[in-house]
Structure formats: structure tokens, C-alpha cells
Amino acid sequence: MNLYAVKAIYRFEMARTFRTVVQSIAAPVLTTSLYFIVFGAAIGRRMQTIDGISYGAFIVPGLIMLSILTESISNGSFGIFMPKWSGTIYEMLSAPVSAFEVVIGYVGAAASKSIMLGLIIAVTARLFVPFEIVHPLWAISFLILTSITFSLFGFILGIWADGFEKLQIVPLMVVTPLTFLGGSFYSIAMLPGVWSKIALFNPVVYLVSGFRWSFYGVSDVGVGASLAMTLLFMLACLAGVWVIFRTGWRLKA
């Protein structure tokens, strides 16, 4: 493995984050803090507990997951899109760097940013609502696994997009609605009748449920199902990346 190449890509992407720290870190943390103030502090005081957990604490895992999904996709897609847009990707493709090393560099940097952001938001949330993490190792595992998985998805999105507009279509029109409908602010058991069954077809339900279980030991679906769905989506993304580099789709044209 060409560790020098991996390190160069990784360091470049991480340096870009710290050059734009307001957009990369401060803005997501501020936005999430507003959610805690409005939903956790203001509305939460008037809400009943859910599964014995105060509403403010209940939404913490969902809000962290909402930020992780959004930022992972954004970081993963923008990182590979910029070399495509500027034309420097052809230099990288002609260099003695394998597809595996390229993916590790870009996806590793995107996932690192998301993990860092998730930890900052978790600390920030503690300032607004009291909560404890029952299974901290599982929480970190879900955080890392989700960050890597959706950074891979963002990587695929960045290769697919041929303009800045397309970078925003999937996160805004697909991922964000699925996250809001995936139990971030409520338990799907609260949905009436058949809607609680339909919600099980939303993959984000499994991510939020598994992450919430690591916090409080309660979930809408089994933790095994949450882990299996996350790993399945990761494998699908890895297969997609393999096909892209195997065929040169959207890279060599």
C-alpha cells in the first residue's frame, strides 16, 4: 500500500476542513444547538417521557445521527467532486495510486470529520439536557460505522454529480426527509396503525434506533437488525465504489 499517497490525500482533506472551520464545524454545531433549545428545552418541558426518558434526552441520538448523515455525505461528495470539477483527478488516476488508496484517503478524511463533529455535538448536547450513555463502546462503534458508510455513499454521489446542484439533490430531497421520518424526534411506536409498519422500510430508522439503544438501552428495532442494516448498506456502497473504479464510470469520460 502506498501510505504516502493515502496520507497526502487525508491531510489535504483535513486541512481543508480547518481552513473552513466555520462552515465545517461551527455551523452544524450551531444548527443542532438550536434544535436542542427549541425541541429539548422549550417543547421538551411540555412533553411526556418516552420509554421513561425525558424528551430532551430522547432526541439527542437522533439529532447527532441527523448531523452525522448530512455531514458524512457532504464531506464525502465534495472531497471527490472538487478534483473532478478542477480536472486534477486525471493526475491522480495516472499516478501510481490504487483505487483502494484513493478511497481510504478521501473516505477516511470525510469519516474523521463526521466523527469529530458527532463528538462535539454530543458534548454540546450535555450543556442543554442531562443524559448518560449506557453502552459507550457501542455508541462509538455506531458512530464510526455510520460515518464510514455514509462517507462512502457521499463518495459515490460526488462521482455521480456533474454539477454543484446535483451534490445537494440527494441530501436535501432524500436523506433529510428520511432522517426526519426515521424516528429522530419520536419513537415509531407512536405512529398510528400501518404507518409504524411502513416506517420499518426506512433504513434511517435502524441507524437512529441502534444509536439510541447505545445511549439508553431502548430501541424501536433490535440492535442486531440495526447493525445488520448498517453493514448491508456499507457493503452495497463498497460494491458501488468497486464498480466505478472497475469501469471508470464518470471518472474517465
- pLDDT at residue 33 tops 70: yes
Q: Rounded to whole angstroms, what are the CA distances from 148 to 106, 231, 235?
A: 11, 10, 11
Average pLDDT over residues 20-47: 76
| 50 φ, ψ (degrees, to nearest 5) | -115, 120
* Mean pLDDT over each residue of the chain, to the nearest integer: 87
Instruction: Tell me the range of 2-11, 140-149, 190-199 where mean pLDDT is highest.
Output: 140-149
Q: Has residue 253 been placed in a domain?
A: no
Q: Has residue 165 been placed in a domain?
A: yes
Q: Has residue 252 been placed in a domain?
A: no
- pLDDT at residue 50 tops 70: yes
Upper half-sphere CA count for residue 26 (Cβ side, 13 Å):
6
Structural domain range at position 196: 3-247
Q: Has residue 146 been placed in a domain?
A: yes
Q: Has residue 42 been placed in a domain?
A: yes
Q: Has residue 111 been placed in a domain?
A: yes
Residue whose C-alpha cell is 474517465: 252
Report the chain's terminal Cα–Cα distance, integer Å: 27
Please name the residues in contact with 230: beta carbons below 8 A apart, sequence gap of 6 or more.
142, 145, 146, 149, 206, 207, 210
The DSSP code for 178 is: H
Upper half-sphere CA count for residue 148 (Cβ side, 13 Å):
17
Q: Are 63 and 32 in contact (CB under 8 A)?
A: yes
Element (H, E) at 62: helix 60-86
Q: Has residue 54 been placed in a domain?
A: yes
Percentage of the chain modeled with pLDDT above 90: 41
Q: How many domains would you assign to the chain?
A: 1
**Which pLDDT score, from 0 to 100, does residue 38 have?**
77
Average pLDDT over residues 137-156: 95
- pLDDT at residue 147 tops 90: yes
Q: How confident is the model at residue 44 (pLDDT cuts 50, 70, 90)?
A: low
Q: Has residue 75 been placed in a domain?
A: yes
Element (H, E) at 156: helix 136-160
What pTM value is reported for the model?
A: 0.90
Q: Are 200 and 190 in contact (CB under 8 A)?
A: no
